[in-house]
Protein backbone atom coordinates (compact mmCIF):
# COMPACT_ATOMS: atom_id res chain seq x y z
CA UNK A 1 0.00 0.00 0.00
CA UNK A 2 1.43 3.39 -0.98
CA UNK A 3 2.00 5.95 1.72
CA UNK A 4 -0.45 8.86 1.77
CA UNK A 5 0.65 12.46 2.32
CA UNK A 6 -1.37 15.33 3.73
CA UNK A 7 -1.02 19.07 4.22
CA UNK A 8 -3.16 20.66 6.93
CA UNK A 9 -3.74 24.38 7.33
CA UNK A 10 -4.71 25.41 10.84
CA UNK A 11 -6.35 28.78 11.36
CA UNK A 12 -6.71 30.51 14.70
CA UNK A 13 -8.17 33.98 15.23
CA UNK A 14 -6.10 36.14 17.62
CA UNK A 15 -7.21 39.45 19.15
CA UNK A 16 -4.39 41.87 19.99
CA UNK A 17 -3.65 45.57 20.31
CA UNK A 18 -0.12 45.73 18.82
CA UNK A 19 1.10 45.02 15.26
CA UNK A 20 1.69 41.35 14.46
CA UNK A 21 5.42 40.42 14.31
CA UNK A 22 6.15 38.66 11.00
CA UNK A 23 8.86 36.47 12.51
CA UNK A 24 6.67 34.84 15.15
CA UNK A 25 6.53 31.07 15.49
CA UNK A 26 3.60 28.91 16.55
CA UNK A 27 5.32 28.64 19.93
CA UNK A 28 5.21 32.45 20.25
CA UNK A 29 1.50 32.51 19.41
CA UNK A 30 0.79 29.81 22.01
CA UNK A 31 2.77 31.66 24.67
CA UNK A 32 1.24 35.09 24.07
CA UNK A 33 -2.32 33.79 23.87
CA UNK A 34 -1.90 31.71 27.04
CA UNK A 35 0.41 33.88 29.15
CA UNK A 36 0.55 37.26 27.43
CA UNK A 37 -1.71 40.04 26.31
CA UNK A 38 -3.44 38.37 23.39
CA UNK A 39 -6.61 36.31 23.17
CA UNK A 40 -7.39 33.52 20.72
CA UNK A 41 -11.01 32.91 19.92
CA UNK A 42 -12.57 29.60 18.95
CA UNK A 43 -13.20 27.91 16.71
CA UNK A 44 -9.82 26.63 15.65
CA UNK A 45 -10.29 25.42 12.10
CA UNK A 46 -8.27 22.86 10.14
CA UNK A 47 -8.38 22.08 6.44
CA UNK A 48 -6.55 19.03 5.14
CA UNK A 49 -5.71 18.16 1.55
CA UNK A 50 -4.11 15.00 0.20
CA UNK A 51 -0.83 15.44 -1.69
CA UNK A 52 0.88 13.23 -4.22
CA UNK A 53 4.43 12.14 -3.49
CA UNK A 54 5.77 14.80 -5.90
CA UNK A 55 3.64 17.52 -4.31
CA UNK A 56 4.91 16.49 -0.88
CA UNK A 57 8.53 16.49 -2.07
CA UNK A 58 8.04 20.02 -3.44
CA UNK A 59 6.25 21.14 -0.26
CA UNK A 60 9.08 19.80 1.89
CA UNK A 61 11.64 21.78 -0.13
CA UNK A 62 9.45 24.90 0.18
CA UNK A 63 9.36 24.37 3.96
CA UNK A 64 13.15 24.22 4.15
CA UNK A 65 13.29 20.45 4.55
CA UNK A 66 14.03 17.62 2.12
CA UNK A 67 11.95 14.80 0.62
CA UNK A 68 13.94 12.15 2.47
CA UNK A 69 12.20 13.36 5.65
CA UNK A 70 9.33 11.14 4.47
CA UNK A 71 11.54 8.66 2.60
CA UNK A 72 10.89 10.22 -0.81
CA UNK A 73 13.20 11.14 -3.66
CA UNK A 74 12.98 14.45 -5.55
CA UNK A 75 10.27 13.06 -7.84
CA UNK A 76 8.13 11.90 -4.91
CA UNK A 77 8.91 8.20 -5.26
CA UNK A 78 9.22 6.19 -2.06
CA UNK A 79 12.73 5.13 -1.11
CA UNK A 80 13.97 2.53 1.35
CA UNK A 81 13.93 3.47 5.05
Does some domain include residue 15?
yes
The per-residue pLDDT for 1 is 62
What φ, ψ does residue 24 adopt, rounded to 5°?
A: -70, 145
Range of the domain at 63: 5-70
Domain count, the chain: 1
Task: Give the model confidence (pLDDT) of 15-74 as tens digits.
Answer: 999 999 999 999 999 999 999 999 999 888 999 999 999 999 999 999 999 999 999 999
| In a domain? residue 46 | yes
Answer whether residue 3 shows pLDDT above 90.
Answer: no
| Domain annotation covers residue 80 | no
What is the per-residue burial (b if ≥16 Cβ within 10 Å, else e) of 28-43? ebeebbeeeebeeeee
Distances (CA, A) of 13 to 41, 71, 80: 6, 34, 41
81, pLDDT greater than 90: no
* 79: in domain: no
Residue 58 lies in a domain: yes
pLDDT value for 80:
83
Q: What's the pLDDT at 2?
A: 77
CA distance 69 to 57: 9
Q: Is residue 81 part of a domain?
A: no
For residue 63, being part of any structural domain is answered with: yes
Amino acid sequence: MAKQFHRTTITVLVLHDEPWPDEWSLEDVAYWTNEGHMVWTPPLTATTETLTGKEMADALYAAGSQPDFFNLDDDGNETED
